[in-house]
Structure 1
Amino acid sequence: MAGTTHDVQAGECIATIAAKYGLPWKTVWEAPENAALRKLRKDPNVLAPGDKVTVPQPKPKPSPIETGKSHRFVVKREKVRVYLKLTAGQEPLANEPWEIECGERKLEGTTGDDGTLEAEVPADQAEAVLKLPNRRQTYKLALGELEPIDTIRGAQTRLKNLGLHADEPSGTLDEATTAAIEAFQRAEKISVTGKYDATTQKALAKVYGL
């Protein structure tokens, strides 16, 4: 039976899409019908509005039960792994205590020596709150919002998270975005052109990690 074609909206990724249809994210991402999408996007967490995802039809699993009795079924919420790299300027925040509130869940931990943070959150959650108690700082995380690095909005989001772009991502290569690109190019010691070319994209991907 053919699957359903889902048109990706802003803020969606494979995990949130799969959760809407009640499927594990790997079932959707690894479906043969999505081979072209995997080749194009590489990462299930980074999609662009307008991408098309084929959602396979779920396969019911038989659950033998005895009639005339009450039965209890437990539905497990799928989780996805979230990776963040925390920095102050360009320096990693090593061994920094953190808290993440995601729905009813509260997670705690400490960053690694390179400032990385790793946590598992429910796949159907689109937002979370990150707190750095020692610094008294709070950040709102928009899970699945990151667009591909070869898009202007994807560049703007990454530059904003690096503290180089103050405006909200618009998808338009305006003066503020050009200035942010130039600032990044100077910091990375590459040709300062203000153009979002392949060299700049590669450098941004390396610094940002995605």
Structure 2
Amino acid sequence: MFSTPLGVSPFQLDTANTQSRSTFGSTPVSGSTVPCRPVDKMAIEVLVIDLQGRVLPGQVLELAWGQAVYRLETNAYGAVRFEGLEDSSYPLTLWGLDRRTLDVPVVESLSSMWARSSQPAGWSVLAPLAYPEALHVVQPGEGVDKIAFGWGHLPETLWDAPQNGTLRARRRWRNQLAAQDTLYIPPREPATLQVSTGCLYVLRFNGGVSRLRLRLAVGFEPQDGVPYLLEVPDAPSQQGTTQNGYIDTVVPAQTTRVTLVLDGGATRLELPVDALLPLSDDRGVQQRLRNLGFPCASSDGTFDDVAKGVLHRFRSAVSLPHSDVVDDDVRGALFALHDQG
């Protein structure tokens, strides 16, 4: 859901803006007001949200008029208001997001009160912004979904870039990266569209989410039709029933933890949400063992006596010979049960 209803200016929620705009048509004089001639200037408002309707503050937007630009940054409500405009249309550039990330904008007419403006425009001559290609060094816990959100790209744009072919060959999935991997970031192509005065434009960013897949099972038997509630920080809760044991959904790319509520609230499970490490990394092996119900005491890739006991139980559960070694058979079983599901 949108954080502000369409047709209602996001700035009605901003006390400072509401107060300043409530003086439209009047000029303060010694503590009183006197009528003044209406100003024939107009405004444009823009709201930037993600796929789940969460607002995106800090996005740089810019109107152009000849050699001059009017550059603003979205506020805490994900909104900007361009004031003092001649009644016309203008090219609008959204610098912070690649053009391929945006959905078709939703356009609403502002009421006559909010469409008009008594504030001066902020035109100036500024150097154009640039977002050239770059190399991103992967940090612990990062996957392509999270990295792409930070760079204003879709995950596919990064992962499918020819320059990342070697990394794709080495890492099976885009969210199974290892720390210190290097990911090529292509130049950002800013989105530009034509906007008109008197309108509110809602721009939706189609990235910023990651697929989350959970499976409820007893042993390895999936539990079908189980009602659940999934609580996600800073996002709407999700509810439904498992399909063949699976909960398959999307969450914000920055999510690090969710709460799974079962049995009508009697059972609450706090679940970490991490980018998976490659199966070639023993820490990635421990992640998958944990996700399949075989938690190791540590997650640093070392197999002490406790972790070896967990490994024994897993090998027995999948009919592998007794051993303390994480070998190709273990990795193959984890890939089949966890990654392929």
TM-score normalised by L of structure 2: 0.56
Report 1:63-82 matches (<5 A): 63-66=193-196, 71-76=200-205, 78=207, 79-82=209-212
**Structure 2 partner of 1:180:** 310
- Alignment partners' CA distance in 1, 2:255 and 2:149: 9
- Alignment partners' CA distance in 1, 2:151 and 2:311: 38
Residue 118 of structure 1 and its aligned partner are, at CA, apart by 0.7
**Structure 1 partner of 2:240:** 109
Larger deviation: 149-158 or 164-173? 164-173
- Alignment partners' CA distance in 1, 2:204 and 2:157: 17
Rate the CA distance shift 1:2–1:33 in 2: closer, same or farther, 3 A: farther
Q: Deviations over 1:85-106 (max 9, x none)?
A: 2212332222111222222211
Q: Deviations over 1:91-124 (max 9, x none)?
A: 22221112222222111111113x1111122233
- Corresponding residue to 1:23 among 129, 149, 153: 153
- Corresponding residue to 1:42 among 163, 172, 192: 172
Report 1:1-210 matches (<5 A): 3-66=133-196, 71-76=200-205, 78=207, 79-102=209-232, 103-113=234-244, 115-134=245-264, 136-210=266-340
Residue 149 of structure 1 and its aligned partner are, at CA, apart by 1.7
Of Structure 1 and Structure 2, which has the larger fraction of its residues in strand? 2
Tell me, yes or no, if the aligned pair for 1:77 and 1:123 is still in contact at 8 Å.
no
Q: Deviations over 1:16-38 (max 9, x none)?
A: 11011111111111111111111
Tell me, yes or no, if the aligned pair for 1:11 and 1:142 is still in contact at 8 Å.
no
Q: Which runs of 5+ in 1 are unaligned?
A: none
In our comparison, the structure showing a higher alpha carbon Rg is: 2
TM-score normalised by L of structure 1: 0.87
Q: How many residues get paired?
A: 208
Residue 173 of structure 1 and its aligned partner are, at CA, apart by 2.7
Tell me, yes or no, if the aligned pair for 1:33 and 1:54 is still in contact at 8 Å.
yes
Residue 70 of structure 1 and its aligned partner are, at CA, apart by 6.0
Q: Which runs of 5+ in 2 are unaligned?
A: 1-130
Residue 13 of structure 1 and its aligned partner are, at CA, apart by 0.8
- Alignment partners' CA distance in 2, 1:204 and 1:39: 19
Tell me, yes or no, if the aligned pair for 1:128 and 1:142 is still in contact at 8 Å.
yes
Residue 2 of structure 1 and its aligned partner are, at CA, apart by 5.6
Q: Match of 2:307, SS?
A: helix
**Structure 1 partner of 2:102:** none
